[in-house]
Amino acid sequence: MTKTKTVIKTEKVECVDCSSCGQEIEKNDAYDFMISNSEDIQRNGWACEHCVENIVSFPVIYQTLGENTNWGDVALAIASLAFAVMFILKSIQMLLPLIM
């Protein structure tokens, strides 16, 4: 009679996040990709087996706030949003007498 024995081993496996769906996958099972646009900006990333065949979302290039942030552009964007909100509120104020 033969005896069987179950052995469970722990080993470290390098994992990456899928750039499309965000799922954590083993690096050996991931697909490497590179996207570039007309401005010569390149995006490298990883995709899981599912997203290679059925893309959840197209991987994009995100810019985050950090050391290289142009704070003048951020201030301009915030001022533009404030102006747009004020314009919308003023338009509603002017239209209310016509509606009522």
User: Do 27 and 59 belong to one domain?
Assistant: yes
- The confidence score (pLDDT) of residue 36 equals 72
Two tokens, residue 67: 């050391």
Check pLDDT > 90 for residue 84: yes
Q: Which DSSP string corresponds to 45-69?
A: EEE-HHHHHS-SS--------STT-
Which residue from 41, 42, 20 is spatially nearest to 30, judged by alpha carbons?
20
Digit-coded pLDDT (tens) for 6-56: 767 788 889 998 888 888 889 988 888 877 766 666 778 888 888 887 765
User: Do 85 and 100 belong to one domain?
Assistant: yes
User: Do 23 and 54 belong to one domain?
Assistant: yes
Q: What angle do CA 57, 35, 40 make, to 5 degrees?
A: 130
Two tokens, residue 84: 């747009």
Q: What is the pTM of this model?
A: 0.43
Two tokens, residue 56: 């959840």
Domain encompassing residue 54: 12-63
